[in-house]
A and B are shown apart, each in its own frame.
Chain A
Amino acid sequence: NAGVTQTPKFQVLKTGQSMTLQCAQDMNHNSMYWYRQDPGMGLRLIYYSASEGTTDKGEVPNGYNVSRLNKREFSLRLESAAPSQTSVYFCASSPIDRGGKAFFGQGTRLTVV
């Protein structure tokens, strides 16, 4: 099984550009999450989706939008990238009966110049 797959793995954007980070899971999990991790810090929750068709803000949602396209896919969009959004982005998923046992992707390393 692939688990949680994120694309792209690396990206460099110019300030003001937009892009979408893709995430897909093949474990039939209900919940999906987007986190960001700045250098030397822990992960911070951006948005999450408890189930297909629902999304909610996490700790640091400003500057981002999300789409739960279907049960497998949860995308994160930066409409107008800023240098402060330079970070490593992790997608995760968890099953409905073990919500705390999450599985993470390998991350997307985004640099905004």
Chain B
Amino acid sequence: DAKTTQPPSMDCAEGRAANLPCNHSTISGNEYVYWYRQIHSQGPQYIIHGLKNNETNEMASLIITEDRKSSTLILPHATLRDTAVYYCIVSDLYPEYGNKLVFGAGTILRVKS
């Protein structure tokens, strides 16, 4: 599995956009970029994923560079409830093998009022 690199922590002011970067320079052509978050030791929660195009859903936007070596998760209007550990994961889609998600240390995002 390709590995990812994320900053260990970031701060963001409430109401502002939170931009979380992720480097995945060894990503292969069939690997997707996934983002999960974990709030205060709860089970991780899926946020968004993408292959090469930018993606947006009700929770966040995902911007993937053209060379796919890095991506940014954007929370457009961060709230205190977005304080969590955010994990960037790359994974292929081979369901017959069970799609294993390999979690790194993630980025601790602290949203401050």
Contacts and interface: CB of A to CB of B under 8 A. Distances in A.
B43 interface: yes
A56 B99 CA distance: 12
Contacts of A94: 99
Interface size class of B (residues with CB under 8 A): 20 to 34
Interface in A19-44: 30-31, 33, 35, 37, 41-44
A42 to B, nearest CB: 4
Given A42-B104, A45-B102, A100-B49, A107 B95 contact: no
B93 interface: yes
Interface string B44-56: 1110010000000
Given A44-B103, A94-B99, A99 B93 contact: yes
Contact of B44 (A48, A59, A97, A104): A104
Contacts of B41: 37, 88, 107
Interface residues of A, number: 35
A103 B103 contact: no
A105 interface: yes
A51 interface: yes
Contact of A100 (B34, B45, B106): B34
Interface string B73-100: 0000000000000010101011111111
Nearest to A31: B98
A48 B96 CA distance: 12
Interface of A: 4, 30-31, 33, 35, 37, 41-45, 48-51, 54, 56, 58-59, 88, 90, 92, 94, 96-107
Interface of B: 32, 34, 41-46, 49, 87, 89, 91, 93-106
18 contacts: A4-B43, A37-B41, A41-B105, A44-B103, A48-B98, A50-B96, A50-B98, A58-B100, A92-B44, A99-B95, A99-B98, A100-B34, A100-B93, A102-B99, A104-B43, A104-B45, A106-B42, A107-B42
